[in-house]
């Protein structure tokens, strides 16, 4: 079956696809979204949205709603496994005073619901793209036999992108050497001070932490080395093993883990997409994890996807020449995303040090780094947000 489609088609209805659609709608372009999943499931994970993501969402008129749905954080703290405070970041002061927005922790499913609700466009669910080709127009074929030929095709289909196979054939995510455990505790009572505080604990070979999501919910994550030669999904540690491993860690980690059920934790290999030469080919373009999936240690993957979305919509509305639009988008977005991806890789190396001495030296060094340096880097990140000159 071949069907007429609107001019702009988006493959992937995750955070990037949904925000791109919203940004296009705000500029008077009605896209069509094709999402592989047959329904949006409440995947048990949270997200920390940093100030740059909020600045973009503000342009789209939804920052307040995102903040009210999630949990604004007053501060964030880095501890060592024995509980020592290595660093404390006052998010209220720097981010909110200077930029009007701080960090917000939010359940992924809540963010997804909110974005779908904001859209006029319906998401076409159960539409898994199988291949992308192009002769005179881009052509996407789906597993159910549907074929579309839009004027422009945007690949927002995540780290294992099918669209990327057309834009950058042969590029695969790097083999992971770390895995992440994630869960959302839904019936946990954390103490007052943890109700608006993000937490990280830098251990030996593990990096763990989380953030409150409101209503007795708390998002927890932890990383571990990839079990050698094994499928992480089948060799993941059980909740009881995780509880044991983190029993002596500072609160609220043990309390949160104690409240989890055996099926609450899921495991993901931590992969990243190698730097691409280009994010587009002809009338096909990539955004979000499809273009630049990065290690999660800088907490910037979704934020960068959100920045892509706004700028791509701006570029597509600024000119009728798609090639020029993609060039404008890449000029602004690629250097920044590539830089932040490299930073995330460096942080991953630091966060996963497996020697006890190495981890102790790292933690000591973190304690000695002046707050001013951390503040400067957070300020630069927010200042560098890709915001088009003309407001929507
Ligand atoms: C452990 C961990 C913690 C993280 N924490 C944070 C954080 O705190 N803050 C932050 O900013 N980022 C974080 N990230 C990164 C963030 O999750 C991603 O960068 C973000 O989800 C990317 O959004 P996306 O829409 O590009 O991709 P995805 O969220 O992967 O969405 C892709 C969508 O495309 C669909 N799809 C896939 N293939 C097809 C196909 N062939 N046809 C049609 N549809 C398809 C998928 O079903 C999915 O809905 C974290 C990542 C990990 C792994």
SS (H, E, C) 198-213: EEEEECCCCEEEEEEE
Backbone phi and psi for residue 131, each to the nearest 5 degrees, phi listed first? -145, 155
> What is the number of the ligand 1 atom nearest to the C-alpha of 18?
25
Q: Residue 174's pLDDT is what?
A: 92
Mean pLDDT value across residues 251-258: 96
Determine the distance separating the centroid of ligand 1 and the alpha carbon of 34, expressed in angstroms: 15
> What is the number of the ligand 1 atom nearest to the C-alpha of 182?
1
Is the pLDDT at 163 greater than 70? The verdict is: yes
Which of the four pLDDT bands, split at 50, 70 and 90, describes residue 3?
Answer: very low
Ligand 1 lined by 25 (C-beta under 6 Å): no
Which of the four pLDDT bands, split at 50, 70 and 90, describes residue 150?
Answer: very high
Q: Residue 229's pLDDT is what?
A: 65
Is the pLDDT at 235 greater than 60? The verdict is: no
Is the pLDDT at 299 greater than 80? The verdict is: yes
Determine the distance separating the centroid of ligand 1 and the alpha carbon of 59, expressed in angstroms: 22
Q: Report the sign of the C-alpha dihedral through residues 59, 64, 70, 71, in that order.
A: positive
> What is the number of the ligand 1 atom nearest to the C-alpha of 157?
34
Ligand 1 lined by 157 (C-beta under 6 Å): yes
Query: Best substitution site from 9, 11, 12 to test ligand 1's pocket, by max atoms within 8 Å of Cβ?
Result: 12
Give residue 145's Cα distance to chain centre.
31
Mean pLDDT value across residues 323-350: 96
Task: Select from 5, 21, 29 the least CA-distant residue to 288.
Answer: 21
Q: Residue 176's pLDDT is what?
A: 85
Is the pLDDT at 355 greater than 50? The verdict is: yes
Determine the distance separating the centroid of ligand 1 and the alpha carbon of 174, expressed in angstroms: 16
> What is the number of the ligand 1 atom nearest to the C-alpha of 287?
26
Give residue 7's Cα distance to chain centre.
27
Determine the distance separating the centroid of ligand 1 and the alpha carbon of 204, expressed in angstroms: 27
Q: Residue 1's pLDDT is what?
A: 43
Is the pLDDT at 348 greater than 70? The verdict is: yes
In the predicted model, what is the mean pLDDT of the chain?
A: 93
Q: Residue 384's pLDDT is what?
A: 96
Is the pLDDT at 2 greater than 50? The verdict is: no
Determine the distance separating the centroid of ligand 1 and the alpha carbon of 106, expressed in angstroms: 14
Determine the distance separating the centroid of ligand 1 and the alpha carbon of 108, expressed in angstroms: 10
Query: Best substitution site from 38, 48, 157 to test ligand 1's pocket, by max atoms within 8 Å of Cβ?
Result: 157
Q: Which residues pair with 210 in a beta bridge?
A: 199, 220
Over residues 80-125, the pLDDT tens digits come to 999 999 999 888 788 899 999 999 999 999 999 999 999 999 999 9
User: Going by CA atoms, what residue is nearest to atom 27 of ligand 1?
Assistant: 158
Q: Residue 4's pLDDT is what?
A: 44
Determine the distance separating the centroid of ligand 1 and the alpha carbon of 153, expressed in angstroms: 18
Ligand 1 lined by 16 (C-beta under 6 Å): yes
Q: Which two tokens stand for residue 190?
A: 């954390």
Q: Residue 262's pLDDT is what?
A: 84
Is the pLDDT at 54 greater than 50? The verdict is: yes
Q: Which one is predicted more confidently, 186 or 42?
A: 186
Determine the distance separating the centroid of ligand 1 and the alpha carbon of 15, expressed in angstroms: 7
Nearest-5° Cα angle at 224, 337 to 157: 40
> Within 13 A of 215's CA, how many CA atoms are on the CB side?
8
Q: Which two tokens stand for residue 261?
A: 């059920």
Query: Best substitution site from 302, 305, 347 to test ligand 1's pocket, by max atoms within 8 Å of Cβ?
Result: 302
Which of the four pLDDT bands, split at 50, 70 and 90, describes residue 367?
Answer: confident
> What is the number of the ligand 1 atom nearest to the C-alpha of 53?
11
Which of the four pLDDT bands, split at 50, 70 and 90, describes residue 243?
Answer: very high
Class of residue 195 by CB neighbours under 10 A (exposed 0-12, middle 13-18, buried 19+):
middle
Domains, the chain, with CATH or none = 1-38+125-174+271-351 (3.50.50.60), 43-107+176-270+353-392 (3.30.9.30)
Distant-in-sequence, close-in-space partners of 55: CB < 8 Å, separation ≥ 6? 63, 99, 101, 382, 385, 387
Query: Best substitution site from 292, 301, 337, 344 to test ligand 1's pocket, by max atoms within 8 Å of Cβ?
Result: 301
Q: Residue 248's pLDDT is what?
A: 94
Mean pLDDT value across residues 329-348: 97
Q: Residue 231's pLDDT is what?
A: 65
**pTM greater than 0.85 (yes/no):** yes
Ligand 1 lined by 141 (C-beta under 6 Å): no
Over residues 125-143, the pLDDT tens digits come to 999 999 999 988 999 999 9
Task: Select from 104, 106, 112 the least CA-distant residue to 72.
Answer: 104
> What is the number of the ligand 1 atom nearest to the C-alpha of 130?
41
User: Going by CA atoms, what residue is nearest to atom 17 of ligand 1?
Assistant: 302
Determine the distance separating the centroid of ligand 1 and the alpha carbon of 158, expressed in angstroms: 5
Ligand 1 lined by 252 (C-beta under 6 Å): no
């Amino acid at each position: 079956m071949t069907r007429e489609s609107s001019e702009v088609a988006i493959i992937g209805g995750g955070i990037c696809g949904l925000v791109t659609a919203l940004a296009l709608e705000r500029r008077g372009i009605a896209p069509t979204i094709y999402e592989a999943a047959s329904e949006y499931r409440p995947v048990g994970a949270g997200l920390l949205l940093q100030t740059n993501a909020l600045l973009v969402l503000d342009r789209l008129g939804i920052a307040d709603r995102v903040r009210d749905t999630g949990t604004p954080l007053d501060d964030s703290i880095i501890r060592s496994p024995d509980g020592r405070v290595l660093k404390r970041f006052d998010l209220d002061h720097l981010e909110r005073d200077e930029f009007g927005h701080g960090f917000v922790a939010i359940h992924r499913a809540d963010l997804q619901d909110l974005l779908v609700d904001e859209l006029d466009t319906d998401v076409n669910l159960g539409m898994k793209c199988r291949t992308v080709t192009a002769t005179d127009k881009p052509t996407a074929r789906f597993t159910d036999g549907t074929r579309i030929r839009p004027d422009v095709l945007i690949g927002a289909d995540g780290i294992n992108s099918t669209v990327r196979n057309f834009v950058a054939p042969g590029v695969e995510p790097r083999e992971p050497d770390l895995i992440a455990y994630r869960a959302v505790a839904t019936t946990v009572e954390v103490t007052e001070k943890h109700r608006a505080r993000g937490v990280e604990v830098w251990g030996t070979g593990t990096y763990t932490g989380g953030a409150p999501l409101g209503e007795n919910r708390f998002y927890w994550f932890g990383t571990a080395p990839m079990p050698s030669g094994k499928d992480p999904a089948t060799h993941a540690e059980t909740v009881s093993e995780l509880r044991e491993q983190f029993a002596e860690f500072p609160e609220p980690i043990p309390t949160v883990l104690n409240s989890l059920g055996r099926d609450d934790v899921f495991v993901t290999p931590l992969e990243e997409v190698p730097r691409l030469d280009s994010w587009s080919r002809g009338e096909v373009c990539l955004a979000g994890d499809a273009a630049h999936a990065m290690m999660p240690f800088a907490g910037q993957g979704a934020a960068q996807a959100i920045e892509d979305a706004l700028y791509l919509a701006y570029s597509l509305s600024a000119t009728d020449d798609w090639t020029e639009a993609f060039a404008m988008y890449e000029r602004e977005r690629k250097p920044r995303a590539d830089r932040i991806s490299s930073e995330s890789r460096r942080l991953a190396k630091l966060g996963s040090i497996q020697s006890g001495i190495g981890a102790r030296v790292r933690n000591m060094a973190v304690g000695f780094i002046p707050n001013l340096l951390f503040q400067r880097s957070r300020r630069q990140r927010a200042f560098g947000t890709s915001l088009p000159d003309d407001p929507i």
